[in-house]
Amino acid sequence: MAYVLDTADLPPAERVEAVRNAMLYASAPCHVIHEEPGGAVHARLEVWDLGDANVFTHRSSGIRLLRTDRLARQEAMPVVALSVQLRAEGRIEQAGRQRVVPAGELLAVDLSAAYDYSWSGDGAAGAVQIPFDRLGLPLDVVRRAVPEIRSSPYYRMVTDHIGHLARDPAGLTGDAGVATASVELVRALLASAGRPGRPARQALAETLVTRVRAFVRAHLADPELTPAAIAAAHHVSLRYLYRVCADAGLGLEQWIINERLRHARHDLLRPELRHRPVAAIARAWGFRDPTHFTRRFKARYGILPSRLRRSSEAAGS
């Protein structure tokens, strides 16, 4: 379920107030200051449930979000936001530290504390917002880690994962596995950044399965995605990868196939993709051989993909 505000549907005179009210729901209460309040203000805000967390995407003209000490004292539930700057250059100041965040990079914000965040011109960001208690980490560890996330060995992986979520929240947030993996990745990021003396090798070993799940979901469409390729990407042997996955109850190859089939089934049922041949949809999700795809699909769902599509079209007509 998503909450969406799009100021394109509103008269210009109502947009400033609408964005202020939407921000109260979407994130932490703050002062919303537009770069040009008398100009062409525009914004699109979306909030998507992600288990106990959420995905918040924000695209707008130049804006400043100022959370004062007074506002911060009114908040009861601590929440941390991991946000990828999707467009424009972000600027964040919190706890006396300033950082400029280029597009494509990640920042962490303690939403329960005061902060000053802004961008100029047309910008966009996508964040995962997670209550502290969902992370299972001490408050001091999280708060110590927030300004140090670039030191974590998971920084790039979490950046890519959140960027992927922000670009397709409708297609990903309904998956309980994505919600679990998102929280686990953020936990690993903060735990490793918050403990600078912890050996990186130990941290990487402890969360290999979580990182593998995120990697697979990001590369499902690649026909070259194999256990050997996954092992190479994570700098472990194939034998070690299989052992760790087996210990976690994860049958890696079958899980990859099932994930591809699930996405293909979703696309087969989408009315706007009716013109796409079944074989093209299969290829889009990493199946090189249409016959192999059809056989796997029928074994999984008990129906041929072409018949599923026809039944769906008949039901919708």
Distance CA 132, CA 28 (A): 14
Is residue 218 within 8 A of residue 160, CB to CB? The reply is: yes
Helices (H) and strands (E) in the chain, counts: 15, 11
pLDDT for position 105: 97
The two most distant CA atoms of the chain are separated, in Å, by 63
Domain locations along the chain: 1-218, 222-317
pLDDT above 50: residue 199: no
Q: In the structure encoding, which two tokens stand for residue 209, read together?
A: 């399965």
Candidate from 34-48, 140-154, 200-214, 277-291 with smallest mean pLDDT: 200-214
Query: Which of helix, strand or coil describes residue 232?
Result: helix
Which residue reads 């979407």 in tokens? 26
- Give buried/exposed letters for 150-161 (b at 16+ CB in 10 A, else e): eebbbbebbbbb
* Predicted local confidence at residue 214, as pLDDT: 78
Q: Which residue has the tokens 């049958």?
A: 251
Query: If you average pLDDT over residues 157-183, what whole number do you get?
Result: 86
137-147 pLDDT, tens digit each: 778 888 889 99
Instruction: Quote the pLDDT of residue 197.
Output: 52
Burial 7-39, CB ≥16 within 10 A → b, else e: beebeeeebbebbeebbeebbbbbebebbeeee
- Look at residue 317 in the predicted model and tell me its pLDDT: 54
| Domain spanning 222-317, CATH architecture | Orthogonal Bundle (1.10)
Task: Put residue 61 in one of left, alpha, beta given phi > 0 → left and psi -120 to 50 → alpha.
Answer: beta
How high is the pLDDT of residue 4? 87
pLDDT at 172: 80
Tokens of 256: 């990859």
What's the average model confidence in pLDDT over 126-138?
88
pLDDT in tens, 269-300: 988 898 999 999 999 999 999 999 999 999 99
Alpha-carbon gap, residue 271 to 252, rounded angstroms: 31
Q: Model-level pTM greater than 0.85?
A: no
Given this structure, which CATH class describes domain 1-218? Answer: mainly beta
Mean pLDDT, rounded, for 66-78: 84
> How is the beta sheet containing 43-50 ordered, strand by strand?
2-6, 43-50, 53-60, 123-131, 79-87, 106-110
> C-alpha angle with apex 168: 165 to 170, nearest 5 degrees?
105
Distance, in Å, from the CA atom of 110 to the CA atom of 145, rounded to the nearest integer, reads: 10
